[in-house]
Structure 1
Amino acid sequence: MSSFQFNQESDPEDIDSVTLTDEDGRTLECYVENAIEGDDGTYLLLMPVDIPIVVLVWDEEDQDVEDTEEITNAVLLEDKIEIEEIFPDAKAVLAELDLTLKLTAFTLTVVGELPPIEDDGILTLELETDGPALDSEELQFLKDFYHQDQKYSIYTPLSPLLFLAKYNLLGEVELVSPEDEEMQAILEELLFDDME
């Protein structure tokens, strides 16, 4: 899953970054935030080197709403084909903020300095989960744009985007699902150690 080859002789703590590769061949350079040895390999907590962004698509009824409190029907854009279609427009509007948009693996990213956070530019996105509770994520507004009369908004998450991965026995980095019960304990240990 990754083009990064792990040298078994080196200590995971000595490795600063790895490159993740998705099934489309796109790459995402990540810092290694933390690493622990497991029974079946080395587990890594990764954070993208560049700034992750998300694109929201607005329901037609909400396209002209100025007050984010009134917004009810924004959807996180995850369709790869639609992302590729709107990419040139998104790249152009972000260039106005001196940000360079990159079509990277697993998330879109930007390079550059983000504008200062403003309270009225923060949106809380409710995320559906498998359980009865909803997770929420705070996003910082960057820019709106239109593509074929459809309104899109670009945000960056205020919390760091983290990936859980492991070196397999072949020495390759592969993503693992943090939803897996077995991985929960490993993820908690990585996060706890990282905070110390």
Structure 2
Amino acid sequence: MTAPGPNINGEVPTVLVRDDEGRDLLCFLEQLIPLDDKDYALLTPVDTPVSLFRLSEGNDPELIETIASSEPILSVADVVLQEHDLTLVRSAVTLTVNGELDEPDPEELEDEETDDDSETYELLVSFMVQEQEYGLYIPLDPFFVVARMTDGQAKLVEGEEFDQVQPRIEVELEDREL
């Protein structure tokens, strides 16, 4: 099967992917990759993915990898984003932001001196919670999600299955580029 790409109307198909906790993430279908009689989908979120970092003066931002969707920090982030007409969505796989975001100026990004973390992220908003500063950052690298397609439904590929298929998907994508 080949890449779906835009349809006749120029629209890229969308797929709703679900994780084990029942959370959904609406994604664009970028590629379909058949492996072992299963179809795997390479997806990109429709809304803008964001990452939460703990900020402290003099130190690099610290990525918070797991956070409960009921965490008070996210409630404060909700309020701050609403001031910018944005909405924080507690999606499958990642937090996302819904709303109109300003596109980063590529020249501005090239001119900035960057650390390892700031090379791959751009600060969207920062805020304080109980005397601790946090920031929501937008990844500058493409954010891909892998799902297994079964009867038109997308199931998030996680854990061991992801570890097994991810290198094979990368090889398949490299072969397609040649």
Q: State TM-score, norm by structure 2.
A: 0.75
Q: What is the match of residue 25 of structure 2?
A: 28
Which of 155, 171, 176 is the matching residue for 2:137?
A: 155
Shift of 1:169: 8.5
Q: Which region of structure 1 is more displaced relative to structure 2, 94-103 or 146-155?
A: 94-103
Shift of 1:80: 2.2
Contact 1:21 1:105 in 2 (8 A): yes
Shift of 1:113: 1.9
Query: How many pairs are equivalent?
Result: 166
> Which blocks of at least 5 consecutive residues in structure 1 are unaligned?
1-10, 63-70, 127-135
Residue deviations 1:81-102, cap 9 Å, x none? 3862211210111122222111
- What is the distance in 2 between the residues matched to 1:74 and 1:83? 22
- What is the distance in 2 between the residues matched to 1:122 and 1:89? 30
Identity %: 33
Contact 2:122 2:137 in 1 (8 A): yes
Q: What is the match of residue 105 of structure 1?
A: 92
> Which blocks of at least 5 consecutive residues in structure 2 are unaligned?
none
CA gap of 1:108–1:182, structure 2 versus 1, over 3 A, is closer
Q: What is the match of residue 157 of structure 2?
A: 175
- Aligned to 2:20, the other structure's residue is in SS state coil
Q: State TM-score, norm by structure 1.
A: 0.69
- What is the distance in 2 between the residues matched to 1:140 and 1:148? 24
Q: What is the match of residue 167 of structure 2?
A: 184
Contact 1:140 1:156 in 2 (8 A): yes
